[in-house]
């Protein structure tokens, strides 16, 4: 069974750094693109970017380029989304997804709250 299991909820202060994770199982991790989708409170879905674990090829949405970093550790079948300096506007639910174009598997979501 394909599963994407994300790390737990985080509460951070503005300016802090953060790295959240998404562990894939039940399939060949290096053969499928893993991406991230943001959902701000009460709002819609926004695609942030994707990475191919096989060679770490990464593509970002222009809206998120330079704001976040997507990486992967294929030795532990895990993708990461990280921020170097969080802002209050980063408060959102973040979902990891599997799929290069349409997203057929989703993680359970990681809620990130940024508040002073």
Partner 1 sequence: IQLTQSPSSLSASVGDRVTITCRASQGITSYLAWYQQKPGKAPKLLIYATSTLQSGVSSRFSGSGSGTYFTLTISSLQPEDFATYYCQQHNSYPLTFGQGTRLEIK
Sites of contact with partner 1 (CB under 8 A): 37, 44-47, 49, 59-63, 95, 101-104, 106-109
Of 96 and 114, CB closest to partner 1 = 96
What SS3 class is residue 99?
coil
Supply the minimum distance, in Å, between the C-beta of residue 13 and partner 1.
26
Nearer to partner 1 among residue 63 and residue 82 (C-beta): 63
Q: How far is the CB of 5 from partner 1 (least distance, A)?
A: 12
Neighbours of 102 (CB within 10 A): 6
Choice between 22 and 86, CB closer to partner 1: 22
**Three-state DSSP state, 89:** helix
The 10 Å Cβ neighbour count of residue 75 is 7
Least Å distance between CB 29 and partner 1? 19
Residues in the chain, how many?
116
């Amino acid at each position: 069974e394909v599963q994407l299991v994300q790390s737990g909820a985080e509460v951070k202060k503005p300016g802090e750094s953060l790295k959240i994770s998404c562990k894939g199982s039940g399939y060949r991790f290096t053969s499928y693109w893993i991406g991230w989708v943001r959902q701000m409170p009460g709002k819609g879905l926004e695609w942030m970017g994707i990475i191919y674990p096989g060679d770490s090829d990464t593509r970002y949405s222009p809206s998120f380029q330079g704001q976040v970093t997507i990486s992967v550790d294929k030795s532990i079948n895990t993708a990461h989304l990280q921020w170097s300096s969080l802002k209050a506007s980063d408060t959102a639910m973040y979902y990891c997804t599997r799929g290069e174009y349409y997203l057929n598997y989703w993680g359970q979501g990681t809620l990130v709250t940024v508040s002073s």
